[in-house]
Amino acid sequence: MGRDLFDWLTGFPFAVTWVCRTAEQTEQFEEVFVKKQRRAIKYGLGDENTTRFRTVNTIITSDMEKLTHCDLVLETITEDIECKRTLFHKLQQILPETCVIASNTSSIPPDTLFKGLSNQKNCVGLHFFFPVALKNFVEINTAENTSKQAISTVENFLNRTERFYLKLSGNDQFIINRLFLKMQAGCCRLIREDLMDIREIDVLVKENLFPVGIFEFFDYVGNDVMLQSVRNYLAYEKDSGFYLPMIKILEQKVKEGKLGKKTKTGFYDYPVKKIPSKDPGVSTKREKILQQIIYWYLDGVFDVLQRKICSRKELEFLVKEYMAVEQSPFDLAMENGYKS
């Protein structure tokens, strides 16, 4: 996510400093960046002044001391609370008092994440979605001690980059990912109960709902990341027992080292062949299972709507943008006789 955010940020008139983990990474990414700037000039992809500005106002380094001039720091390291806390303690020794630290955490509650820091008022969750350039929405997940000034800083930043955002707190945090959690957990229950296999479920979902299957999505995100996120999300859910089969399935994949695309094996082996449809035709069982999956999905949608986290129009936009679909979830609800 760090590299993706960097590539996106360099498209705006900001001074950008990217801190990499190692000197070797720094050298590698600097080389890529320089080649990109030269290519832009060669093929007329940008004017000379823009390229000069970007070159002068971009720093790629492994030295955190280079952040002393920053107004906003975006943290994108691994989804591990202790690693993040260690980094934040180092950062607060370096950064100016007014600098806002924004964590891209996708699941760790901000109040837990920032606990013990002396500058909690300047800390906030700022959750981008991958790929950043194509997913035009961000979650601002605020902690109890996050100041209005810190929130204003990130809102101004997002407005300048024309990002749609939701400001979330308490039990509403990370609501976009959690919206689909019941559907994902339900599909795992189908597996545990031997009602369908992984490929059958993914084919059913891809034929009728989304361009990516449930278990394809897990592999894409990373089964270790999914497992940690689901564990964190359970703190927000009332019926935690419903999600246990999902945790068990993900735990098994992680134990086996089958983390998804990044390990070339997960629920599928990679490179994956086209997932074949078994072409079962229309069957009562298949139709009932599809109906159940749709209802699990719509339960998540209408739960968000009823909690008044955002407007109906905003929610429709978020779902379409997140899952890259054209059909409104509300039209789908009408077609299927769903009642919340």
pTM over 0.95: no
The SS3 assignment for 269 reads: strand
Domain ranges of the chain: 1-62, 70-173, 178-335
Q: What is the pLDDT along the chain (340 residues), one digit of tens a residue?
A: 999 999 999 999 999 999 999 999 999 999 999 998 888 878 877 778 888 899 999 999 999 999 999 999 999 999 999 999 999 999 999 999 999 999 999 999 999 999 999 999 999 999 999 999 999 999 999 999 999 999 999 999 999 999 999 999 999 999 999 999 999 999 999 999 999 999 999 999 999 999 999 999 999 999 999 999 999 999 898 888 999 999 999 999 999 999 999 999 999 999 987 655 555 555 788 999 999 999 999 999 999 999 999 999 999 999 999 999 999 999 999 999 998 8
Q: DSSP characters for 282-320?
A: S-HHHHHHHHHHHHHHHHHHHHHHHTTSS-HHHHHHHHH
Handedness of CA 308, 121, 81, 5 (dihedral sign): positive
Q: Which two tokens stand for residue 225?
A: 């990341």
Residues 6+ apart with CB under 8 A from 179: 300, 301, 303, 304, 318, 319
Joined together, the tokens standing for residue 101 give 């630290």
Q: In the prediction, which pLDDT does 281 show?
A: 55
| Residue at 188: amino acid letter | C
What pLDDT is attached to residue 265? Answer: 97
CATH, range 70-173 = 3.40.50.720
- Cβ contacts of residue 50 below 8 Å, gap of 6+? none
Helix ranges (H only) for the chain are 2-9, 23-42, 48-56, 81-94, 110-113, 148-160, 175-179, 181-192, 198-208, 214-221, 223-233, 244-255, 284-306, 312-323, 329-335
Q: Is the dihedral of CA 153, 154, 157, 163 positive or negative?
A: negative
CATH number of 178-335: 1.10.1040.50
The structure tokens listed for 271 are 């490179």
CB 154 within 8 A of CB 146: no
Q: Which two tokens stand for residue 338?
A: 């769903």
